[in-house]
Amino acid sequence: MTTKEQIEALREDLRRHNYKYYVLDTPTISDFDFDTKLKQLQELETKHPEFHDPNSPTLRVGGEVTKHFKTVSHTSRMYSLDNSYSKDDLLDWEKRIKKAVDGNIQYTCELKYDGASISLTYQDGVLKQAVTRGDGFKGDDVTANIKTIKSVPLQLKGDYPQLFDIRGEIILPFKGFHKMNEMRIALGEEPYRNPRNTASGSLKLQDSSEVAKRPLECLLYSIKGDRLGIASQFDNLEKARQWGFKVPNIAKLVNSIDEVLDFVNYWDVHRHDLPYETDGVVIKVNDLQQQEELGYTAKAPRWAMAYKFKAERVFTVLNTITYQVGRTGAITPVANLQAINLAGTVVKRASLHNADQIKKLDIRVGDTVFVEKGGEIIPKIVAVDLTKRPLTAMPTEYISECPECKTQLIRKEGEAQHYCLNASGCKPQIIGRIQHFISRKAMDIDGLGGETVALLVNEGLIQNYADLYELNKTQLMPLERMAEKSAENLINGIENSKNIPFERVLFALGIRYVGETVAKKLAKHYKFIDAIATASLNDLVNVDEIGIKIAESVAEFFSNAANVSLIENLKKHNIQLEISAEKRANQTNKLKGKTIVISGVFNTVSRNELKKIIEDNGGKISSAISSKTNFLVAGDNMGPSKRDKALKLNVLVISEMEFLDKLK
């Protein structure tokens, strides 16, 4: 056997034993024998660097140091999930699904793992890249750290596709977490608070050899890619297992919401027997074609729902109530609590939402309050124990002045919150607007974070987001923790943001009620910022999905002289305040005013490409057929009920090719 053959045989042998130990949990050799083989391979690789393999089992120990984690765009967006807390929630979800898709609906039930989301990219069976969830559109490249996790296969086996992404959760099992804390306590160090945060923090450690010391695991649940030959979510899980991924066998295929609830009720009790944290069940429509037909909202897939286990509830004492000012001037009361441990984290604060909530609870300083985590993420006060109320506790009077600038607060009719209207002179509002402007989904300015924005405002270097484009390195260098390289990165990040497309700039402006989806609608309809600025209220309301509330907010923003001045300043710095000529060239009004439903499997273009074609030509996509539907584009395997409904309502049914010819 040649040296190369010997090295390759050892690598294959170690991969097989690694898979049996960390994925199947059925080791067939002792740790001593495994370590002996690993040492033998390390010696051979050291003597023969010409046979280097970046995915060799010897590199699991880490050693690569990453100072700055590169930001990477996800090939397909990593969505969050809608939450449900009752059978009624699930039944409502099921009704919406049945209106939109044909045929019987099966569901895959899986546990919702409580860890850090990750997306792994494999090419030719080899791990190419590992990216954190980030904001769903972009994440951080943490490949070096992920390679140290033994349950992540570096080389796949079986009939895997040439290129695909697989999503999952990096978790820290209880056993490993407790062992880590025992070691920290023995060294006199503060123990970690909970497994989830520890797992999440591990992904951003700069030294991968430190990550290798942590007993992290990776549980996978979703494969993404083109033409993978997988028909259902349950097949998805089975294929992932065959290729070498760690996929728990807990998932179950069911036929009704009642069966879903049986699964939920079982695991609400037995989750405490699991070796890792879980906070609910994820229910997915099993058929992938049905998933495609259902599509997505702006934030979540319509074909999936997270059923959250009942939140843990504890009681503590309310010490004080303070008030925060948001970027829109909205005032949020905050309960400052006697510190308590809740669902694995120390909680000291909880939102009280608004004056009505305070009045409803009749909450007072000194009260003993019940706190739980909404969706086990955000702490909230749900009740007051009146039997423990101190005799000295006085009714809470909501503030009448801004806690920051002392401006008189107002509360508009129909609004739940109080507002400070001093937009140009109230510092938290100024800082908040700029922080929103630079955020990832908006201008995505590298090298500039929330703390630096606050520093720049407090030092008097900027007063609004247009001022960012006037900054220079000389101004930045004297600032605290601002080295020359940091200053250069910040200036470069600001310069690069001039390439951000118009719809994201429009979102970045911080117009109330104008989120990502509304910004896209407005940008696409008007194409230029000046067209939006001069649009009448009636004109704005006639834009697809723009209601009176949004229209009034947009009109109010552009009627403000300070905002008009801001836009003019942004123009001077060549910010993208119109849709590019290239994009405009690809857009027409051929389908303007047309509502179109698409259903089935398409051959010439993908479903997403078809949706884009419709939107680029001014059409509106709907998931359900109604009397307002203009035509149905029918692909292969379309369910009969959709066709029957279309015929019943006299909706034109056309094929994929007929539709594409229509646009030529």
What is the block-wise mean pLDDT of the chain (664 residues), using blocks of 10 residues?
Answer: 82 78 72 77 81 76 70 90 89 90 91 93 95 90 93 92 95 92 84 86 89 93 90 95 94 95 93 89 94 86 91 89 93 94 82 92 95 71 93 94 96 89 93 94 89 93 95 89 86 94 96 91 92 94 88 95 95 93 77 86 83 85 85 84 85 89 80
Asked if 623 and 295 touch (Cβ cutoff 8 Å), the reply is yes
Q: What global pTM score does this model have?
A: 0.74
Active site residue 359: no
Considering the segment(s) 595-663 as one domain, its CATH architecture is 3-Layer(aba) Sandwich (3.40)
The pLDDT assigned to 318 comes to 96
Q: CATH homologous superfamily for 502-584?
A: 5' to 3' exonuclease, C-terminal subdomain (1.10.150.20)
Domain boundaries, the chain: 3-61, 83-308, 315-421, 427-499, 502-584, 595-663
Domain 427-499 sits in CATH at 1.10.150.20
Measured CA to CA, the distance from residue 99 to residue 625 in angstroms comes to 9
Reported as a single tens digit per residue, the pLDDT across 458-474 is: 999 999 999 999 999 88
Among the listed residues 514, 522, 513, 565, the one whose alpha carbon sits nearest the alpha carbon of residue 542: 522
Strand 83-84 and strand 138-140: the pairing is: unpaired
How high is the pLDDT of residue 133? 92
C-alpha distances (whole Å) from 178 to each of 172, 212, 245 are: 10, 17, 25
Q: What is the DSSP string of 92-118?
A: HHHHHHHHHS-S---EEEEEEE-SEEE
Kindly tell me the burial class for residue 289, based on how many C-beta atoms sit within 10 Å of its own C-beta (0-12, 13-18, 19 or more): buried
Q: Do domains 3-61 and 427-499 have the same CATH topology?
A: no
Architecture of the 3-61 domain: Orthogonal Bundle (1.10)
pLDDT value at position 307? 92
List Cβ neighbours of 494 (8 Å cut-off, separation of 6 or more). Answer: 445, 448, 468, 469, 471
Catalytic residue among 112, 147, 239, 246: 112
CATH class label, 315-421 = mainly beta
Please name the fold of domain 83-308.
D-amino Acid Aminotransferase; Chain A, domain 1 (3.30.470)
At residue 44, the pLDDT reads 80
